Amino acid sequence: MKQLRLYAGEQEAEDALSVAVTGIGMVSSIGKNREEMWRSLQRGEQGCKLYHDIAGVPGLHLPAAHCDWIDPQAPCSERAIEMATSAAGEALSDSHIDLDAIDRSRFALAVSAHFGDTQFLTDQVNHRSEPSHAWWNSWLPNTGCSRIAQKFNLTGAKLCHSTACASSLISVVMAVRQLLDQQCDYIIAGGMDAVQPLLCAAFHRMGVLAPAGVAPGEACKPFDRGRNGFVLGEGAAMLVLERTSEAKRRGARIYGEIVATQLLAEAAHVTSLDESGLPLSRLLNGLLRRARWQPRMVDYINAHGTGTEQNDRNELSAVTNVFGEHPDHLALSSVKGMIGHTINAAGSLELATTLMAMRDGYRPGTRNLIDREPIGNIDCLGNEGSKSSVDHAIKMSVAFGGHLAAVAIQKSSFENQRAAEPLDPAARIRPSSSQVRAA
């Protein structure tokens, strides 16, 4: 689609319909902050390790991607909240918004739910007079959202969605709607999660987790025919969003502009997916229409990419349906082979990664992808990333319960776009002539 030259007034009207990302904070198993994690992704570092009695479940030995520097004895909810407040603080600092100079009742939050913990129950069964941790941290899934508001004295609306592993991407969608509806002027959107004992046991019983008998660093293999299932991870990502018109007016530096969002559902089963990819195809087609993009405009798709058979087939089928068999300009990848599946945090962590790819012109590789699933011929960046301008990108999430979400982002105008940072000297960069495609 040819981009139109707009008069000043028309440009302002366009800006009023988009939302700018002006701050990012990230925490994961491979980085304590945004830039550390991003450099680790460039190097293809692994956060996955083998844990015995994972999350305190006796006899359950599994690979996982933990944030090992956070107190391992703390309940997972406490760990998740610590990651969330850290990421939120980094995002706020990165946005350069002077909180003392704004109306904080116009600063909102859309932060996903997090899983609770059983520690409070254990305390009660053991007849402790004082629980070791506040019960609301374990049993109110909106506590992380509330704690961020308290820490930074933000008194705008607070939204908290629990929609499985689409939760934090749906939080971003809801944040965009709050801004465009003039409900707020600024908003923090994102999610957090830590490895939780009941979830570990349930997913293990379902048979969707990679087993202990493989090398931890090779356990999660998105889009590879030798996949073993996914690896649980933990982390958090928070994004500061504001209307693009306001961000430009205050001279903010912009990672990218959210120009469209789309939500749909699969309605067949709680955990199974339509392997034809048709519901996800409808999601992507709807997103393109809302963004007013042609498929050929999209440079990069950050996939959900769990490394399970149904998810891999679903996503590859849908992307092939919408974008064709082998568009040379398009690449798709999943970072879960490095950071694991962070459940409620996954959508925002991976959207933040996509925005970093846009800033620096580097599309991260799909770690452990050697023998690609033979559906379509889209380049899945097997094991190495690629240097390429990312002007238009999509992040999508596919969650248990049938929740489908997608976000379209594009570069801002030259004077507002964040300047690219040099890539890590050890970044895994594939030769431009090489591609790993289906056999």
Kindly list the catalytic residues.
165, 304, 341
User: How many C-alpha atoms does 37 have within 13 Å on its Cβ side?
Assistant: 28
Q: Which spans in 181-328 are helix H?
A: 197-206, 244-249, 278-291, 309-323
Closest CA to 236 of 69, 112, 405, 373: 112
DSSP 350-381: HHHHHHHHHHHTEE--BTT--SB-SSS--B--
Closest CA to 304 of 234, 374, 383, 404: 404
* Percent helix / strand / coil, the chain, rounded to 5: 35, 20, 45
Amino acid identity for residue 208 in this structure: V
Kindly give the pairing relationship between strand 256-265 and strand 403-410: antiparallel
Question: CA end-to-end span of the chain, whole Å?
Answer: 32
Kindly give the pairing relationship between strand 331-333 and strand 300-302: parallel
